[in-house]
Structure 1
Amino acid sequence: MVLAHTYPPDVRIEKEVASLTKAGHTVTLLCRGEPGAPTRERADGMDIVRIEEGSLTAKTRRLTSAAVNLLANVHPLWVRKLDALVAETDADAIHVHDLPLVREGVIVGNRSGIPVVADLHENYPEALRLWREPHSVKTALDDPEFAVHWALKPVSRYKRIERRCVKAVDHVVTVTEEAATHYHHDCALSPFRSTVVSNTVNLDWFTGDETPVPGYEDEFVISYVGTFGVHRGLTTAVKALETIVTNVPNARLLLVGAGAEPYENELRELAARHGVTDRVTFTGWVDFADFPAYMAASDVCLVPHASTPHTNTTIPHKLFQYMAMAKPVIVTDLPPLARVVEDADAGRVVEAGDATALAEAACALAAAPDEATRLGKNGRDAVEHRYNWELEGEKLVAMYEGLLADE
């Protein structure tokens, strides 16, 4: 496996490795290092090899490779490291997580004569558009590396890279039917070369009977758990809180997680303008192991994503985690979210960006606790029988068995 970021944490990799090793495969992960992290270790059922960080030599190599990548769409450093690792482990396949390093995987796979799988968690070019959106011209002037990357690798260039990479790999794994349709229609990917392995929950991690984090016993808690960002729709949730508190005075919006400081500051300023500062709690970054305790303390859980080409083809782990905790959910009307929630009858679907609709849904659930309990139970039943990692992991294993049988 290849990951352009540091590890840990990465929930999807942990789940995939567990399924593959249970089926008898061995996994080695090549990932980016960080100062102080071991360059090699055995953890989470796999061998982890990290590209060295920290030293001046390592930094020079990384920056040189990044400069080549800006011009040629390939990281020589990653190609060399992956080449060596494939030879060392006598690998049977290369599994690349997300678009940025797929071409490197294809180069090494072609050279070694082994299949390459692109695990595309998101519509990367459209996600990149969202990540860049909060940055201003001032940011580009203050950060030359960011400015060069923005200028030389616009979204249009990433779209071309996406089309070429999807055609070049042996198989594409993605997280929703909507994403698969995007690759079929926009990248000319044959449906026979794609498998949907969704971001469902490992029920061993979310049993539904975890002890709630203390301090919220007398409040109606509406929570969001995860990373903050412009596409997460949290501004809609903060705006809705003013109306919610008018009808449910003990309501609290619990924002569990963190994100870019400017965006979090914007949320705090928005809460102040709407007079709900004392009804919003920002927990800061929370370890994944603590997620269930915060969800257990919640009465309703949110996925209020904005509607974008990125979010319309992805689905977050948190939806299935909420459902596993038997919590009623409020989600926006993005196709993947709405499809799951309506299928499970696990909550309410509201129009993206509509603070009034979100407030009405939350107030209705507060006024009807028996209905909220029913929806939560439906969600738990759905993850136990349809939306769980045991089933998704079987699809991943079956994909590999078929792919390697063809070799």
Structure 2
Amino acid sequence: MRIGMILDKQFPPDPRVENEAISLIEAGHQVFLFCLSYDKYPLQEKVNGINVCRFSSSKLEYKLSALAYSFPFYSKIMEKKIGYFLSENNIEVIHIHDIQIAQAVFNANKQFQLPTVLDLHENRPEIMKFYPHLKTFPGKYLISPKVWKNKEEVFVNKAKKVVVVTNEAREEILSRTHIVSNDICVVPNTVRKGFFKAPKIDANLVKEFDNKFVLLYIGDTGDRRGLSTAIATLHSLKNDIPEILLVIVGASTNDSNLLQQVKDLSLENYVDFRGWQDASTFASYISSSAICISPLHQNRHHDTTYANKIFQYMSFGKPVLVSDVKAQKNVIEHANAGLIHKERDSEDFALKVNELYANDGYRIKLGENGKYFVQNEFYWEKTSKELIKLYSDIKS
């Protein structure tokens, strides 16, 4: 089939979009990707077999996208572009990536009546509640997460098939929509085999941490990611584990707050901020670590979404320490790949770190459990079979 994927941002990068597209191409489909361009990328290009069709966009359109369900301007603008894309490429089925552009797609599709797949990368209405621009004027008064949630339910019921990232997300969607269970499938953001097969390890980077007991965090450092909990524990942990070092590979606008917390607690020698690093370095950082962490705060978004980092950690045989938000707690307990701490509870976090530090054999066992789980049961080439089956069902 000729699948038309619709993305409301630039491409690349977007690992989920790319992974799905490549898997569908390998299954014999043709994939055409509608995306936006704010730079001087070629308007037509083939990327790993994906027919990328870029449509020039402006800063104004970008700003209007945040108001997609407050005013109709963004959807009207995108509707025309999408209609042209669908017609020009003889698309047979539409695959919408997330809900921001969904209204424009459904509007454009009125003249084509093509089957539509809605791919929900995350619980957008819930995570919006934490966006800084929704907490200040004018966003606070112009953008309503409740309206977005209502729209999401409308789109779910309009779509022929729905894709979500966790079983918890599937159950949450089923609980508040009229969709039947057979029309929703789970395609988690797992890692490709290439991530952990024959990785390139930077020996010099690994050597930097030779005499350290490294707690590693990779990813966005926003407040809801829980790094303040991890930092707070170091005040006591440094007495029990003098060689402890929290290594943070990532960044966000919240970094100034984290840096101030480190300064206030006099922990400059125990926290290493590395900022954003190329994904090619992740294997080296993970190899250097003793424990890998994901101390997320509890909210409805985190309860239904995996942080992809936990599978990256596990694929290298590292024990993980995660907070007790529902989705990650369930998968770590299922794999017996690490320990669970109470979210936002620095004392419990420290207790679990000490437990792992005191028992090398236990750390190794948990790490091996996680490695086996990811490398044999929960890797992209296997979990994406649900997506392939979904398209087989549409075709039949």
Q: TM-score normalised to the size of structure 1?
A: 0.90
- Counterpart residue type for residue 285 of structure 1: W
Q: Does 1:384 align with 2:375?
A: yes
Q: How does 1:71-110 map to 2 (within 5 A)?
A: 71-72=71-72, 75-110=75-110
Moved more, 273-282 or 246-255: 273-282
Report the counterpart of residue 17 of structure 1 in structure 2. Answer: 21
Moved more, 151-160 or 202-211: 202-211
Q: How does 1:4-403 map to 2 (within 5 A)?
A: 4-53=8-57, 58-59=58-59, 70-72=70-72, 75-132=75-132, 137=136, 140=137, 147=138, 149-207=139-197, 210-212=200-202, 213-214=205-206, 215-260=208-253, 263-403=254-394
- Counterpart residue type for residue 230 of structure 2: A
Query: What is the RMSD of the two structures over their aligned residues, measured on CA atoms?
Result: 2.0
Deviation at 1:52, TM superposition (A): 1.1
CA contact (8 A) 2:335 2:373 kept: yes
Aligned length: 389
Deviation at 1:170, TM superposition (A): 1.1
Distance across 2 between alignment mates of 1:348 and 1:370: 14
Structure 2 residue runs without a partner (length 5+): none
CA contact (8 A) 1:207 1:324 kept: no
Deviation at 1:249, TM superposition (A): 0.6
- Counterpart residue type for residue 276 of structure 1: L
Moved more, 167-176 or 69-78: 69-78
Distance across 2 between alignment mates of 1:297 and 1:116: 44
- Counterpart residue type for residue 355 of structure 1: S
Distance across 2 between alignment mates of 1:13 and 1:68: 21
- Counterpart residue type for residue 287 of structure 2: A
Distance across 1 between alignment mates of 2:249 and 2:68: 39
Deviation at 1:104, TM superposition (A): 1.9
Deviation at 1:329, TM superposition (A): 0.2
SS of the counterpart of 1:349? strand
Structure richer in helix, relative to its length: 1
Deviation at 1:231, TM superposition (A): 1.5
CA contact (8 A) 1:65 1:77 kept: no
Deviation at 1:210, TM superposition (A): 4.4
- Counterpart residue type for residue 236 of structure 1: T
Deviation at 1:130, TM superposition (A): 1.3
Report the counterpart of residue 7 of structure 2 in structure 1. Answer: 3
CA contact (8 A) 1:244 1:360 kept: no
- Counterpart residue type for residue 163 of structure 1: E
Moved more, 222-231 or 150-159: 150-159
Report the counterpart of residue 143 of structure 1 in structure 2. Answer: none
Residues 133-189 of structure 1 show CA distances to partners (whole Å, capped at 9, x for unaligned) of 7x754xx3xxxxxx2x44222111111111111111111100111111111112332
Q: TM-score normalised to the size of structure 2?
A: 0.93
Residues 327-350 of structure 1 show CA distances to partners (whole Å, capped at 9, x for unaligned) of 100011112111111111110011
CA contact (8 A) 1:65 1:76 kept: no
Structure 1 residue runs without a partner (length 5+): 141-146
- Counterpart residue type for residue 24 of structure 1: G
Q: In structure 2, do the counterparts of structure 1 residues 251 and 179 end up closer, same or farther at CA, with 3 Å as the change threshold?
A: same
Deviation at 1:372, TM superposition (A): 0.8
Deviation at 1:32, TM superposition (A): 2.1
CA contact (8 A) 1:30 1:82 kept: yes
SS of the counterpart of 1:231? helix
Residues 72-129 of structure 1 show CA distances to partners (whole Å, capped at 9, x for unaligned) of 3851222111111111111111111111112222223332121111110111111100
- Counterpart residue type for residue 103 of structure 2: R
